[in-house]
Chains A and B, each alone.
Chain A
Amino acid sequence: MIQPIIGFVGMTHLGLVSGISATERGFRVICFDQDADKARALKEGKLSVSEPQLNELVIKNKSQILFTHNVADLKKCDVVYVAPDIATDDFGKSDLAPIDVLLTLAFDAARDDAVIVVLSQVPPGFSRARVRSGRALYYQVETLIFGRAVERALYPERYIIGCADPEEALPVAYKIFLDVHDCPILKMRYESAELAKISINMCLVASVSTANTLAELCEKIGADWSEIIPALKLDRRIGQFSYLAPGLGIAGGNLERDLATVCNFADEFGTDSGVVKAWIANSKHRRDWPLRILHEVTLKKNAEAIVGVWGLAYKQDTHSIKNSQSIALLRAISDIQVRVFDPIVPATVVLNRDCVAATSELDACMGVDALVIMTPWPQFSKVSPTEIAKMMKGHIVIDPFKVLDAKACRNVGLEYFTLGVMN
């Protein structure tokens, strides 16, 4: 078979990144969105999401990609990925209505011999309930990481494919596309694949929660979590890529969704989810670490304090503020004067009464009593502590992610606070 044409339906983060990445693997790609304005903007090179390499790839592979809102274009596709981002509510519950609309659209618009693949994250039971007689439907686990989405799409560790019957061979067109990525392909029944995605995330949350629990203990007993991490990573049972950096709990929406899904299923089927609820509680507890430190060292001493905040996104290299710890902090100090800066996220997302949108990192430090670094954007680490100290009125730096060098900060008279070590 000649190179199949791959379609992607739903041009939010997942669909857009996956579609553009597929062009880099040499495929002709059709990117469909129902919104004509969005399709037009994409055609003009105006990407609605920010990811490293994404802009470069869309320019480089322009001739291989068609952005369209014409559903008839999907007829040309051999494989159609249905890949909208799945929105969640405040309780982590997925809104599945939009993907149902797009899945129906894909089934109706694509050729009968085309392979339909659900790429968005869906709960166990979703795929089998939507099988259509005589049509090929697969569920492919996405392991997208915000800020590393292109890299993950181009070089997946493995493919996890949910099938109606895992004993059956994959359709040729679909297999060609997957094989190009040169990684193991794990076929399993739909339900297993749907739960595999959740299982991966639960393991990550377990690591993060363990790190956060023990990092907090380090802060009290005089140990240093950063000294312990290498010992853990050299243990083969834990591994060098394990998530052990202390943080401010879980954010971004995806992990929260899986935590909620597991709790809801456990409630429904009467299985134990006590540990999952403990992870959720721990996440909320650690999220407020900067507030507790800020109160202790600044706010309780000076009600008129001005606070500088670097970073609004929930993590570096993304525009997403879903469950952002920075936004949570700013909400908690809504009566305090703040100066905020984020390389991508505009300060308009901050609803505080007295908020100055700073034009740079140093501008955010101007005259502040305390600086809090809430997102570890790489560029923040390039700012000189000497310059920071010069701009600030006070000398408190709260840097949970160790963006700045602690010693360099202390050398210029800044009082430095970070996670995982007694401050």
Chain B
Amino acid sequence: MLIHHNHVSEKPNRVIVIGGTGFLGKCVVAKLLDNSAEVLSLGSSDINLLEPSSVDVLTKLLKSSDTVIFLSAITPDKGRDANAFMNNILMMKHLNETLKSIKIAHLIYFSSDAVYGQKQSLLSEVSPVAPQDLYGAMHLARELMLSELADIPVATLRITAVYGAGDTHTSYGPNRFLESAFKSQRIDLFGCGEELRDHIYSDDVAVITNLCVHMKSSGVLNIATGRSHTFKRVAELVAEQFDEPIRIQKNARSNLITHRHFDTTNLLKAFPSLCLTGLEDGLKLSQVHKLEN
């Protein structure tokens, strides 16, 4: 549940987006610029958070009036092992050390729904956290590290599967389906694609992040649409967008079927007028972007 520290939407002084050059970071930066915010986007080439010296760099850079959005992470497609875990923790350690000496105005942390276990099919912010892998454990550990920053309002956004224009990740789901439909006119499903998942369009994540910035929100919020679809349905929607026939291939299943739904009531309470992109529209927008690029 989020608490808004601003009663009405207020333009932030300066927003520093750490991890602003990645897929999601770019979306967030673009949306902030649309809203005329002063934005400083930092990627790993600007600041290497794995280095202890990053603390000094950040300390010199940050001002107490800044809002910081922290998206930097080694994502599962780049590594799921202990090394990735340790490096991700190290990055947060350096941010944490910096923020203990500079009390910034607001921090937004991009966490993940991987902090939840797989046993519960309906998730809300009060669902027990029980990560099933090191990636989920890493985000949970980072959340706990941030809880040491008692003086800074922190919004933790636990984001579910994101898809959208410019996504470089190819994890199982909309982006991979679009990519393989383009390249090979074929989409491969695990089993018959029965699993239900909630997929959120990248622009919507950016919109919600913007709202959090302008309302100076703190607390924990799941970022999902509240509507889950089977992978089969996603594949069919992707296939329908192509003129040529797309083969949807079922494959042998090695894992049990699990489903994931989100109760997004707290998102509605935080932003009652929020309108999210439907899956069909989001997939079309993603495809248009792909064709244009």
* Given contact pairs A292-B265, A295-B268, A281 touches B273 in the complex (Cβ within 8 A): no
A117 within 8 A of B: no
- Contacts A281-B126, A285-B263 given; indicate if A292 touches B268 (C-beta within 8 A): yes
- A299 near B265 (CB under 8 angstroms)? no
* A270-311 Cβ-contact flags toward B at 8 Å (1 or 0): 000000000001000100100110010001110100000000
Tell me the interface secondary structure of chain B in the complex: loop
- Is A333 on the interface with B (CB-CB < 8 A)? yes
Q: In the complex, A303 Cα to B274 Cα: how many Å?
A: 8
> Is A245 engaged at the interface, CB distance under 8 Å to the other chain?
no
Q: Is the CB of B263 within 8 A of A291?
A: no
B residues in contact with A300, CB < 8 Å? 273-276
Residues in B whose Cβ lies below 8 Å from that of A299: 268, 272-273
Residue contact B126 to A301, C-beta cutoff 8 Å? no
| A333–B126 touching, CB < 8 Å | no
Q: Chain A interface residue count: which class? A: 10 to 19
The reply to whether A332 and B268 form a contact with Cβ atoms under 8 Å apart is yes
Q: Would you call B269 an interface residue if the criterion is a C-beta within 8 Å of the partner chain's C-beta atoms?
A: yes
Distance, CA A229 to CA B276, complexed state (A): 36
User: Contact check: which of B263, B265, B272 meets A333 at CB < 8 Å?
Assistant: B272
**In whole angstroms, what is the CA distance A332 to B272 when docked?**
8
Q: How far is the CA of A332 from the CA of B265 in the complex (A)?
A: 10
How far is B274's CA from A300's CA once the two chains are assembled, in angstroms? 6
Per the CB 8 Å criterion, the residue count for chain B at the interface is: 12
Q: Does A112 contact B (CB under 8 A)?
A: no
Contact flags (1/0) for B262-287 with A, using CB distance below 8 Å?
01010011001111100000000000
The residue from A291, A301, A303, A336 contacting B265, defined by CB atoms under 8 A apart: A291
Cβ-based interface call for A354 (8 A): no
A336 cross-chain contacts in B, Cβ below 8 A: 272-273
A333 partner residues in chain B, CB cutoff 8 A: 272
In the complex, whether A179 has a CB less than 8 A from a CB of chain B is: no
Bound-complex Cα distance A78 to B124 (A): 55
Write out the residue numbers on chain A whose beta carbons fall within 8 Å of the beta carbon of B124: 285
Q: A324-354 interface mask toward B, CB cutoff 8 Å, 1 = contact, 0 = none? A: 0000000011011000000000000000000
What are 15 inter-chain pairs, A to B, with CB distance below 8 A? A281-B126, A285-B263, A288-B265, A288-B269, A291-B265, A291-B269, A295-B268, A295-B272, A299-B272, A300-B276, A332-B268, A332-B269, A332-B272, A335-B272, A336-B273
**A residues whose Cβ falls under 8 Å from a Cβ of B:** 281, 285, 288, 291-292, 295, 299-301, 303, 332-333, 335-336
